[in-house]
Amino acid sequence: MQDLFGKTNPILSTIFSTKEQEISKIEPKHMEIKDAVGYLEQIKSEYEKQPEIYNKFLKIMHDFRLEKINTPQVLEQVTLLFRGKPWLIRNFLMFLPPEHILNISPEDNSNSIYIATPTGGKIIINTDEGIVTHE
C-alpha cells in the first residue's frame, strides 16, 4: 500500500501530550488510503476559499513522488504552505518515513516541532512562521 508520499512504508505515529510536552510512541502501522484521504479532506476544508493552496499541496506531493524533490524539501515546502496552521503541519508529519522520530519543543514552545533524522541530524519546524531549519 502506498502512503501519501507515494512510497510503501509504515509510519511512526506519535501522540503529542500538550500537558507534559513529551512524545508517546505508538507501534508503527501501515498507512491506509483512508488516512491519506482524511488528511486531504482536512486541507480542502481548511482552504475551501483558497483552492490554490490545496492544488499547490497536490503539486508538491506530485513532485516528491516523481523524485524532483526530497524529504527535507517536502518538509520545507509544506511547512511554508501551511504556516500558521500547526495542526495541518503536525498531521502531515505522520506520513514521514518511520526512521524520522518526532518530538515537540523541549522549551515548551508549542509552535516548534523537532524531528530526529536517520542520519543523526535534527530538523526544527516553526509552525507559526513556516520555517524549517536543519542542525
DSSP string, 20-88: TTEEEE---EE--HHHHHHHHHHHHHHTTT-HHHHHHHHHHHHHHHTTSS-HHHHHHHHHHHTTT-HHH
What integer is the mean pLDDT of 77-100?
87
Q: How far is CA 92 from the centre of its chain?
A: 3
- 10-63 confidence digits (pLDDT tens): 332 322 233 333 333 333 345 678 888 899 999 999 999 999 999 999 999 999
Residue 120 has pLDDT above 60, yes or no: yes
Pairwise pLDDT comparison (20 vs 73), residue with the higher score: 73
Residue 24's pLDDT is: 36
126: number of Cβ within 10 Å: 18
pTM for the predicted model, two decimal places: 0.69
